[in-house]
Chain A
C-alpha cells in the first residue's frame, strides 16, 4: 500500500484547559476525495490546522505523505494547497496580482487552467480583490489552490459563503478540474457541514463529533448500511420498543419509521411479521447519515 496522503493517529489538541481533539484518527489514501464532516466546533478546523503546522498538537502523530508537518513544514506545504473558510487577500492587489503573488511561492503553475477558471467564474483579472464578494474570494482562492497542481487539496468549508444555486456546480467544476490532469492521484480533503453538495463526489468520509472520529466509511458502504424502513399498518403500528436495535424509531399512529445502520434483514422480517400494509426501504443520503450519527 502506498504512503497515505494524510495519516493522523490519536491526535489530541487543547485550547487552554478545554480539549478540542480527543484522540482523533484520520487516514486519507492518495487519489481519494475524502469528506471530513462535522458540526461547527466539532474539531475539523483544528485538525486541519495541525496538518498545516499552524497548531502544535499536545500529543498524537500527524503525517502528510509520510512527513511530519512540524519538522518538514516547507516540504509538506509544497505538496498541498489549503483554502480556509475565510479568505483574505491584500486589499490593494487586483485579482491578477493576487494570483501572481501566490504563483511566486509555487514551483508549478498551470496558467491555462487558471485562465479557463477565471473565465468560467467570470472573474476579471483587473478587479480589485477588495471589491470581491465572499463567494468570489473563495473562487479566487480555489483557482489559486488548484493552479498550483498540488498532490493534496485541503478545503475548509469551501461552499459556506456561496449562493446555494451555484454551490453544487461550482464545487463540481473545481474538484473536476483539479482531478483532471492526474486522475487517481489527486487527493482532496474537504471539511464541511453542507454535505448534500458533495454526495456523489465523496469516496470516503469521517464524521467528527466533539473531537473524535465517530464514523469512518466508504460512501457506498455507508449508504448500503444505513437504511430507512417505513411501514404502514391497518391498525396501530407495533410499539417502538420492540425495535431496540434501530438507530432511530418514530412511531405515529398507523405508521412506523426506523433507521438501521447494519443489515436491515432481521428487522425487516420482524416488521413484516406484524402484517404491515406497506413497507418501504431506502438508503440514507450522506447528509442524513451524518445527522443520524451526531445527534
Chain B
C-alpha cells in the first residue's frame, strides 16, 4: 500500500488517507489481516501531523475497515463485518453516486454512456487485482 497526499486536491488530509486505505483494501494491495503502518511511521513518511493519521485510523475503525489490536497496531479487517447496517452502507454509497451523476451531467455524459463507463471501470478494477471478494 502506498499513500500519497495531494494538498492541491483540496480534500482534507485525513480523508485522503481514509480513501486510499479503502482503495488499497478494495484493490487487494492491502489484504485482510495485514498490518497498517504505525501512526508514527505513516505521519513521518507523509510529513503530516500524527493527529491527522490518528484521525484517519479512528475513522477507518469506526467504519469497520480496520481494527486495533491492543499493543500490536492496526490491521485490515476481514470483509463482511461492517458495523454499519446495509441501508446505512447503501445510503453512503448513494451520496457518492449522486455526486457522480451530477458531475456526468456537467460533463455532458449521457446516462447510457455513464452506465457503460461504470461497467468498464468495474471490470478493469476487478481484473487488475487478485480477484478477492
Partner of B49, one of A168, A203, A224, A282: A203
Please classify the interface of chain A as helix (H, G, I), strand (E, B), loop, or mixed, using the class held by over half of its residues.
mixed
Whether A201 is near chain B, meaning CB under 8 Å from some CB there, is yes
A283 to B16, CA, bound (A): 14
Shortest C-beta distance, A252 to chain B (Å), equals 21
Whether B22 is near chain A, meaning CB under 8 Å from some CB there, is no
A282 to B7, CA, bound (A): 9
Given the known A-B contacts A168-B47, A172-B44, A200-B47, are A285 and B52 also in contact in the complex, defined by CB atoms under 8 Å? no
A220 to B55, CA, bound (A): 13
Interface residues of A, Cβ cutoff 8 Å to B: 31-33, 168, 172, 175-176, 179-180, 183-184, 199-203, 219-220, 223-224, 227, 282-286
Interchain CB contact under 8 A, B7 and A283:
yes
Interchain CB contact under 8 A, A203 and B10:
no
A175 to B46, CA, bound (A): 14
Whether B74 is near chain A, meaning CB under 8 Å from some CB there, is no
Whether B8 is near chain A, meaning CB under 8 Å from some CB there, is yes
Interchain CB contact under 8 A, B8 and A200:
no
Please classify the interface of chain B as helix (H, G, I), strand (E, B), loop, or mixed, using the class held by over half of its residues.
helix
**Chain B residues with CB below 8 A from A33, complex form:** 49, 51
Whether B39 is near chain A, meaning CB under 8 Å from some CB there, is yes
> Which 10 pairs between the two chains have the least Cβ-Cβ distance?
A283-B10, A200-B48, A220-B12, A282-B8, A224-B10, A200-B47, A201-B49, A283-B8, A223-B10, A179-B50
Whether B5 is near chain A, meaning CB under 8 Å from some CB there, is yes
Interchain CB contact under 8 A, B51 and A200:
no
A184 to B52, CA, bound (A): 10
Which A-chain residue is minimally distant from B47 (CB atoms)?
A: A200
A283 to B49, CA, bound (A): 19
What are 18 residue pairs bridging A and B, where the CB atoms are less than 8 Å apart in the complex? A32-B51, A176-B43, A176-B50, A179-B50, A183-B50, A184-B54, A199-B47, A200-B5, A200-B7, A200-B47, A200-B52, A201-B49, A202-B49, A203-B51, A220-B14, A223-B7, A283-B7, A285-B7
